[in-house]
Chain A
Amino acid sequence: MNNNIVIKVDQLHKVYGSTVAVDAVSFEVRAGEIFGMVGPNGAGKTTTAECLEGLRDPDGGAIQVFGMSPQKDGHALRERIGVQLQTSALQERLKVWEALDLFGSFYPRPVEREQLLEQMGLTEKRDAKFGKLSGGQKQRLFIALALINDPDLVFLDELTTGLDPQARHAMWDMVRGIRDKGKTVFLTTHFMEEAERLCDRVAIIDRGKIVALDSPESLIRRLSADNRVVFTVEGKFDPQPFLQLPNVTRVEPNGEKVVVHGKTNQVVVDVVTMLVSNGYRFRDLRTEQPNLEDVFMALTGHEMMD
């Protein structure tokens, strides 16, 4: 096994009764990258992650994590990984510091507790009981617990669910920090934006199957979708002169709101110039680049729910 490959999954299969949760999924995760699995609810992300963590037994396929089988060498493996589960809990009356103290005792070399509390913004809550924490605070505690053993590989299943936007951005920085220390991150999310901004490589999964796997930039570039210029115009709008512009492919007037589709970034300059030279009064102009959401739509033919 290549030293640079941390996780190797080959034809992973998992069924629950008549539901095929994971269907012939294969991928590799390289050392030092943030690898994301993104897809809608029920796509099979958690199932895949938990097979890798050794919490579920696959029905078929082969998994290697650090060259070990999560199902057979679970004990040795769990010393080297950190896990944040999508659903789990602690005892209601367990205090934050006690949770870290307890989990630290499971590993040979736990990290410094107070520093970790600080890093997760939980210092003020160190004496609070788990049951009294808000959803986002619980989430931060679980992430702290996932890092308590200074793991080489961290699994984060829906890490920013329940966090406010500010905490979400802080969490992204934190995850980048983990990678910058040379560790590997496997995360799942159903936020396309999160996958796009955070992950080095993304596997898009839908209905148990991987439909695309690459860096977010390559996935978007390969889509070669239009850039869009969106603006609100006052008075009557005539699409004709805009359609004459070399890079414009489509114009969608929709009452006052207009969307112009075009091939390159040049289209923005062209559209603004045209608006000004024709004396239009316009406002709220912005551009929309194609994103992972568009990639998902193009590949699956349906929208991500929620």
Chain B
Amino acid sequence: MRSLWKMTLVEMKLFLREPAAAFFTLFFPLMVLLIFGSIYGNAPTPFFGGYGSVDVSVPAYTAMIIGSSGLIGLTVAMSMYRERGILRRLRATPLHPLTILSANVIVNFLMTALGMLFLIFVGKMVYGLRFAGDPLSVIAAFTLSSLSFLALGFVLAGVTPTARTAQVLGMVLFYPMLFLSGATVPLEVLPPKMQQYVLVLPMTHVVKLLRGVWIGESWSQHWTEVGVLTAMLVIGVAISAKTFRWE
């Protein structure tokens, strides 16, 4: 337990010392929120079912952070640890491999949550962000989404031979989703046919679930998203347990 605590603390410090990771998780989404907030404002519109642009963007950008932490942040960190021999050194200690994985999950999860809190805080302060949901539902939906993407990140780290390919693969998966899943460009903007197609992207389900619980929709309206993300989590954990390599 002491080693998990120390490991998490160390990983947290390292995360904050890594400018790129901290920037994309904590500040980039805020910048985007402020830029588009200043363009579109947050006046309610029938286009977003009576909500404003910022109201739908905060949960959507949260999905973006979830995606980048899982697909790029965690993937690159884990494959780098393996490639550089950091995992080898840890393996020569009594440390349980689960401790290393848990610490990385905890840190990425907490940082993603912090990114979301920043968005909520600035959205509230600057644009009078509206919220009609139940905080516990939001937390539950966020946790499910984040964990399932972190699981996906472990799968990517496990199946790619080098840190470089892990990074490329993570980006190849992330960038199309960034624009097509509704995380940045609202789903409402896409043609109706396209809105069906993008359901194959896991991040679309995160966006739909988070936006739904944000405005107080019930879980029963989102069983598809919950089902997809839960399946991703379970399968992801199973695959990464099989593909985990120390070196």
Contacts and interface: CB of A to CB of B under 8 A. Distances in A.
B114 interface: no
Interface string A90-102: 1101100010011
B89 A102 contact: no
Contacts of A88: 85-86, 88-89
A15 interface: no
Contacts of A91: 10, 14, 81, 86
A67 to B, nearest CB: 17
A27 interface: no
B125 interface: no
Nearest to B93: A106
A85 interface: yes
Contacts, number: 59
A180 to B, nearest CB: 24
A89 B14 contact: no
Given A55-B91, A85-B92, A87-B85, A105 B14 contact: no
A53 B92 contact: yes
B3 A105 contact: yes
Contacts of A53: 92
A28 to B, nearest CB: 22
B242 interface: no
A164 B2 CA distance: 37
Interface stretch (A75-83, A238-246, A291-299): A75-83
Contacts of A142: 89
Contacts of A76: 94
A93 B94 contact: no
B6 interface: yes
Contacts of B89: 85, 88-90, 142, 145
B142 to A, nearest CB: 28
Contacts of A237: none
Contacts of A93: 14, 17-18
Contacts of A79: 94
A107 interface: yes
Query: Looking at chain A, what size class is its interface with the partner chain?
Result: 20 to 34
A53, A75, A89: most-surrounded residue (chain B CB, <10 A) = A89
A94 B6 contact: no
A33 B2 CA distance: 34
A90 B10 CA distance: 12
A103 interface: yes
Given A93-B17, A93-B18, A98 B10 contact: yes
B49 to A, nearest CB: 45
B86 A106 contact: no
A85 B17 CA distance: 26
B86 to A, nearest CB: 5
B84 A89 contact: yes
A257 to B, nearest CB: 46
Contacts of A89: 84-86, 89
23 contacts: A55-B91, A76-B94, A78-B92, A78-B93, A78-B94, A79-B94, A83-B92, A88-B89, A89-B84, A89-B89, A90-B89, A91-B14, A91-B86, A93-B17, A94-B14, A98-B10, A102-B6, A102-B7, A102-B10, A105-B7, A106-B94, A107-B93, A142-B89
Given A88-B89, A89-B85, A91-B86, 10 more contacts: A53-B92, A55-B88, A78-B92, A83-B93, A85-B85, A91-B14, A91-B81, A105-B3, A105-B7, A106-B95
Interface of A: 53, 55, 75-76, 78-79, 83, 85, 87-91, 93-94, 98, 101-103, 105-107, 142, 145
Interface of B: 2-3, 5-7, 10, 13-14, 17-18, 81, 84-86, 88-89, 91-96, 246
